[in-house]
Structure 1
Amino acid sequence: MSASATPEGVSVEPRHVHFDVDDELKTLWHGNDVFRTAFMNALSLQFPDGEQQFINSVRLYRDQITDPKLKQEVRGFIGQEALHSREHKHYNDGLKARGYDIDAIDARFRKHMDWVARLPASRQLAGTCAAEHYTAVLANGILKHPEWLADATPRMRELWRWHAIEETEHKSVAFDVYRQCIGNEKLRKLVFVFVTWNFFKFTFLNTCTLLRAEGKLWSLRTWLGGLNFLWGKPGVLRKSLPEFFEYFRTGFHPWDQDNRDLLEKNLGELKAGYVEAKAKAV
């Protein structure tokens, strides 16, 4: 029996794409809404260092993997995450043009990631599984609920959809490595609690830092709009919360939510968009 639980028809392969979003990042690209733009940018600010740590934690167990399918998926996982880290590094560099102190934000998060890198290997991999669950749930939401990014510029919308597609494709790779090499359910759930705290802490801090730079940190109207975005309509966190907590279920696996149909639909639309964009360029 294969150690990989990635379903048939799902390929974990990196796509060598690049999104030139420098012009978009000089604007409030999400419908000219300062909170929605800041929230999405706040997520991006965690990706370059965070995804490099995901790669490092899986590499710590790479030599213990004997299953050919899982070994191939680990290679694909590393390739996809490396490209995500690269694209979001470009993304975050682009935010500097709007006057944000990205270096200070990076330093704050990097201090935390340096601490994570000193943890025992089992806790690092458990942390990657937990963080990958958050990215997988949010990715599913982006693919399932196009209204989350309906007001975004087309290029930014496609960047986030590309990232969501690949996060969905490899959502169980680190988990399958953990299950084969460690398999400690208590540790998996415990580490998820700490990752939950840190994920929301840094997203909140980053959002506040960006809003402060926009002069909107103490704007009641901005925060009411943000609360509606997250908990009202479209309700990004409200709709994600049940799936977040599924991680605490004993025997949980990321592909218990089989969203291959959603993945196939969005992948087809993304490819069609590339073809159309190339045709216009010619």
Structure 2
Amino acid sequence: MTISSTPDGVSVKPRHLHFDVSEDLKNHWHGDDAFRTAFFNALSLQFPDGEQQFINAVRLYRDKIEDPKLRAEIRGFIGQEALHSREHKAYNEALKARGYDVDRLDRRFRKHMEWVGKLPPSRQLAGTCGAEHYTAVLANAILSHPEWLEGATPAMAQLWRWHAIEETEHKSVAFDVYCECVGNEHLRRIIFLFVTWNFFKYTFLNTCSLLKTDGKFWSIRTWVGGFNFLWGKPGILRKCLPEFLAYFRKGFHPWQQDNRALLEKNLKELDAGGLA
């Protein structure tokens, strides 16, 4: 019996791409806006250790999966996440070269990830499903609203778009493994609360640290602009709230947000650049 829910026409295969963004990261690459740049950079700081934990959590259950389609998608998921981790490590090294205290921020987040890695496997996998939901919803938003990256340098816009495409492709893989091997709806929702707290906590702390280094932490103008970007207009997090909260719905599944057409559109647009 096939237990994979990845729709026909969606391929979970890693793309061996490299993005040299070291020059872009020497400046405020997102339209010369300190807050927008810091917000996306803050997300990047969490990816290498976070995505390695996603891989580890899914591997704990890999041998229990008999469905050949899902087994192949697990291999694709691991490959995609490993490449995301590699590219964001290089991204974060460029931030370090600019003068940000990336080592300190890494230590803080790595300590949390080490704690997560000691949890029972079911909780680790539930946490991965919750974190993957956040990345999937944000990925859909980036692909749906290219204007949210308007003003970004071409290389940075392509990197984030590539990441969003692959997060969309594999958004149900960990969830399908969870449904097959754990299937505890109550645990899924409870762990999502902890994931939500930590996702926003570390994103906020990292953003503050980066802005402090930039000398923008006490700038009211910077924070007003940042609040509008996230919660006002365009309000990227505000617009994502309904999809974030959908995770609490009974019978929720990632592909209830069927964005295959959006995925195909973005792949076609970037095909000339060698992405697809």
TM-score range, shorter chain: over 0.9
- Is 1:78 paired with 2:78? yes
TM-score, length of structure 2 as denominator length: 0.99
Please give the per-residue CA displacement for 1:56-98, whole angstroms capped at 9, x wherever unaligned: 0000001100000000000000000000000000000010122
Identify the residue that residue 41 of structure 1 maps to in structure 2. Answer: 41
Q: How does 1:233-244 map to 2 (within 5 A)?
A: 233-244=233-244
Q: State the 1:22 CA deviation.
A: 0.2
**Structure 1 segments unaligned to the other structure (5+ residues):** 276-282
Q: How does 1:139-178 map to 2 (within 5 A)?
A: 139-178=139-178
Identify the residue that residue 185 of structure 1 maps to in structure 2. Answer: 185
Q: Distance in 1 between matches of 2:148 and 2:232?
A: 12
Q: Percent identity?
A: 76
Q: How does 1:55-134 map to 2 (within 5 A)?
A: 55-134=55-134
Q: Distance in 1 between matches of 2:145 and 2:70?
A: 30
Please give the per-residue CA displacement for 1:195-251, whole angstroms capped at 9, x wherever unaligned: 000000000000000000001111111000000100122211011111000000010
Q: Distance in 2 between matches of 1:74 and 1:234?
A: 35
Q: Distance in 1 between matches of 2:272 and 2:239?
A: 28
- Is 1:195 paired with 2:195? yes
Q: Distance in 1 between matches of 2:7 and 2:246?
A: 19
What SS class does the counterpart of residue 60 from structure 1 fall into? Answer: helix
Identify the residue that residue 24 of structure 2 maps to in structure 1. Answer: 24
Q: Distance in 1 between matches of 2:36 and 2:195?
A: 23
Q: Distance in 2 between matches of 1:85 and 1:66?
A: 27
Identify the residue that residue 251 of structure 2 maps to in structure 1. Answer: 251
Contact 1:147 1:234 in 2 (8 A): no
Q: State the 1:270 CA deviation.
A: 1.3
Q: Distance in 2 between matches of 1:151 and 1:260?
A: 26
Contact 1:50 1:113 in 2 (8 A): yes
TM-score, length of structure 1 as denominator length: 0.97
Q: Distance in 2 between matches of 1:179 and 1:37?
A: 37
Please give the per-residue CA displacement for 1:165-213, whole angstroms capped at 9, x wherever unaligned: 0000000000000000000000000000000000000000000000000
Q: Distance in 1 between matches of 2:137 and 2:178?
A: 19
Would you identify which runs of 4 or more consecutive aligned residues in structure 1 move more than 3 Å?
none
